[in-house]
Structure 1
Amino acid sequence: MEAVKERLKAGDFKGALNRAKAIRDPLKRLIALNVVMAEFPREEVLSEMLETLNGVSGRYEKAVAYSIIGRAFYMLDRERGGSLYFEKAVSLARTIPTPMLRGEVLAGIARNLVLADRYGDAYILFVEAVDEIQRARGLSSRALETLRRVARLIEKSADEIPNEKALAFYRLARDIYESLFFKLQAKHLSDKIALIGDVLKRGRTVVTELIEKGDVERAIEVMRFLPLEDRAVEMLHLSYWLFLHGRPYLARKVFNEALDLILVGKFQPRDGEVFSIAMKMLKIGRLEEPLVLAGVIRNIELASRLLGEVSLAYARRGDSAKARSIAEGIRDESVKRTILNALEGGGDVGHEQGLPLTGGGEGDRAVPEDGRGGEV
């Protein structure tokens, strides 16, 4: 499996696929192929998985294998095939005679349902799995350990659900921990549930407070419960905070995720907010991110002002070619003339924000604080 992951990190699809196919144990091979499918969702991989399925034997193994195939179909947006294999997985799992083993398999299938974004069905199956394992609690200590592992699996699944449906999973996991007298784990989930409830009630304010406190991990954890537009803006705020506090790798990762939300989500954050964050980044020496954000801003005046500041910043760094290239792309002619004049020695290149980037012409009116500035 490690060899497969190494090839995937290198972007080597064929190498990863061949290494997965070389695994002798059919179920382990199927799991490895599923890892390849997650990175490269292709019919070729599914064909290999279906062929491998023929070598899997035993009700326990076969039921798990069916659910893996079901998830693979969903990766290719083939819901009908995915539903069929999930149904086969559940039907076969329910024929396993031992309650504990039956519960284990049902939990595994539920996990794959979560990964296929079928949260409602996954929750129902997790509840059934817990009930089955609970029936075996008095029989062995292994049943108790199995129940603990299932609780952890439910919690992990909840961590990956991007909306308030995660709350039901957290509550289920918490109740299991409480039944096992794992007080710390139960308290941790109770606190998380309360925090999520606060986010759902008060929105961005909660996330902003966490960022200001430096509680980055929890801020990232609960951002997924915000509406997409609010989530993207808070991620930009967080990216700035991370740059400011010397964590550039994570800052860039969060910034790129925010940008993906904006570009793929087909919504537009308020221009004024994006402009404000970009200017903060500019002040701490970040140039690439404000340049990218200028392309997100719809308001021509605001976008032009931001590009002007970025251009001057590059000039101060001695990159006159980059500075001029950016200036030439400014759409507001008044701002463009001012910046080009500054770059050519007609103004103070080191003077940030003080340049008359909007003049007195009809199209150069002042921009309100919300950054919209009328029709664009």
Structure 2
Amino acid sequence: MKNGIGGQGVNEALHLAKVGDIKGAIDKAREIDNPLRRLKVLAKIIEVSRREDVLLSMLDTLEEITSTPEKIVAMSIFGYSLYLLDQDSEAEKVFESAIQMANSLASPRIKAEVFAAIARNLALSDRYSDSYEYFKHAVEQLQFSRALYSEVISALIKIARLIERTGDEIPTEKALEFYKLARDLYSSIRFRLQVEALEEKMELVMDVLKRKSLAVVELIEKGDIERAMKMTRFLPPKDKAFSLLEISYWLFLHEYRNLGKSIFEDALNTILIGKFKPDDVELESIARRFLRIGLLEEAMILSGIIRDETKASILLGDIALAYAKKGDINRALSIAEGIGDKEVRASILEELKL
């Protein structure tokens, strides 16, 4: 089953990359006959693994591509992969070559689609300003196209969707420029529903940029979790961490356990790598909410982040008692013995012995 191994095969390749089996991941990617699609999967493997040894397979795949437009798109994917590996100067050279080749294309429609692909990969490389300019350039190319009206409209729709999707992934207010560009494109072809959806999205982004976590909390309270998760990207790390914890709590509460765990881990990563001191009062508050719905492990993990020893100790004591009520006395004693505050520790151990 070599011809485009399908979603499952791609997932297998990425799973192998995540567990460190880069050779297995590359071998799985090589089962894809279409070179451009294979290159995209290899780029995903680099996203997951940050391994330079994938580049050789990417170069081999690049050699197989003979169509000039596809070659240009492939080069921009390769440039993005070089950025992922912190090979910035090499990446810039590859992008420059891709842009020069794109400018030499005769068909304005094809040129537009190729520049849109380059713009997309520039955005993935965090070159948002360059990406925006090349998306605009792609749109301008279509204005000179002599292709059939239906072909031009099809290309406009494709590029508008790509611009919007790119805006959805930009974690700064620069996203608003991409949304506006996509909105104007949809407006030019009278796609009113898409225009309204983008205007609503722009208003929401501006609200989050202005009111920060309060705007996200309102979305959570409304049960609009999907948009709440998307909007956290605009928050400062501290606000983002606590908003993610709120989302995780909501997901656990509504029986979305797997997603709740995943978001909880994202929140922890934000806290652990962030250059900020999490607020002990907020941590204790959310930890106790996790405790109330029986998520003892999550509550205990949060207790370990609380800097105030007395607060952390009292919380750990309550977690130990909760384990005891569940009948897991050994776990309860183990937690109690690790409590930092001597008085709290003695009190909880005494209560556990009763």
* Global fold match (TM > 0.5): yes
Preserved contact between residue 64 and residue 105 of structure 1 (Cα < 8 Å): yes
Q: Tell me by how many angstroms 1:329 deviates.
A: 1.1
Q: Tell me by how many angstroms 1:318 deviates.
A: 1.0
Matched AA of 1:123? Y
Q: Are 1:291 and 2:297 an aligned pair?
A: no
Residue in 1 that maps onto 2:185: 176
Greater displacement, 315-324 / 31-40: 31-40
Preserved contact between residue 5 and residue 16 of structure 1 (Cα < 8 Å): no
Q: Are 1:264 and 2:265 an aligned pair?
A: no
Residue in 2 that maps onto 1:107: 116
Distance 2:142 2:274 in 1: 41
Change (3 A) 1:222 1:85: same
Alignment deviations for residues 175-213 of structure 1 (CA, whole Å, 9 cap, x no partner): 111111000011000001011111111222111111112
Residue in 1 that maps onto 2:76: 67
Match of 1:342 among 332, 346, 351: 351
Matched AA of 1:328? E
Matched AA of 2:198? L
Question: Going by fraction, where is helix more abundant, 1 or 2?
Answer: 2
Residue in 2 that maps onto 1:374: none
Greater displacement, 239-248 / 287-296: 239-248
Distance 2:46 2:232 in 1: 28
Preserved contact between residue 304 and residue 335 of structure 1 (Cα < 8 Å): yes
Match of 2:100 among 88, 91, 94: 91
Q: Are 1:330 and 2:335 an aligned pair?
A: no
Preserved contact between residue 211 and residue 241 of structure 1 (Cα < 8 Å): yes
Distance 1:7 1:80 in 2: 29
Distance 2:257 2:30 in 1: 38
Match of 1:26 among 35, 38, 58: 35
Distance 2:11 2:349 in 1: 50
**Segments of 4+ in structure 1 off by > 4 A?**
none
Distance 1:139 1:92 in 2: 24
Residue in 2 that maps onto 1:5: 11
Distance 2:285 2:31 in 1: 54
Distance 2:298 2:275 in 1: 20
Preserved contact between residue 104 and residue 133 of structure 1 (Cα < 8 Å): no
Q: Are 1:187 and 2:196 an aligned pair?
A: yes
Greater displacement, 110-119 / 96-105: 110-119
Matched AA of 1:246? E
Alignment deviations for residues 81-104 of structure 1 (CA, whole Å, 9 cap, x no partner): 111111111111111011010000
Unaligned runs of 5+ in 1: 346-376
Q: Calculate percent identity across the aligned residue pairs.
A: 48
Q: Tell me by how many angstroms 1:23 deviates.
A: 3.6
Match of 1:116 among 125, 139, 147: 125
TM-score (norm 1): 0.88
| Alignment RMSD (CA, Å) | 1.5
Change (3 A) 1:339 1:200: same
Distance 1:137 1:312 in 2: 75
Distance 1:171 1:341 in 2: 64
Change (3 A) 1:28 1:219: closer
Distance 2:173 2:286 in 1: 28
Matched AA of 1:330? I
Secondary structure of the equivalent of 1:57?
Answer: coil
Match of 1:164 among 173, 177, 181: 173
Change (3 A) 1:238 1:35: closer
Secondary structure of the equivalent of 2:307?
Answer: coil
Distance 2:49 2:295 in 1: 34
TM-score (norm 2): 0.93
Distance 2:346 2:187 in 1: 68
Preserved contact between residue 238 and residue 254 of structure 1 (Cα < 8 Å): yes
Matched AA of 2:12? E
Greater displacement, 40-49 / 180-189: 40-49
Matched AA of 2:78? I
Distance 1:251 1:58 in 2: 45
Distance 1:101 1:241 in 2: 46
Secondary structure of the equivalent of 1:71?
Answer: helix
Distance 2:72 2:205 in 1: 34
Residue in 2 that maps onto 1:154: 163
Residue in 2 that maps onto 1:359: none
Distance 2:40 2:61 in 1: 10
Distance 1:32 1:204 in 2: 35
Q: Tell me by how many angstroms 1:37 deviates.
A: 2.0
Distance 2:318 2:70 in 1: 61
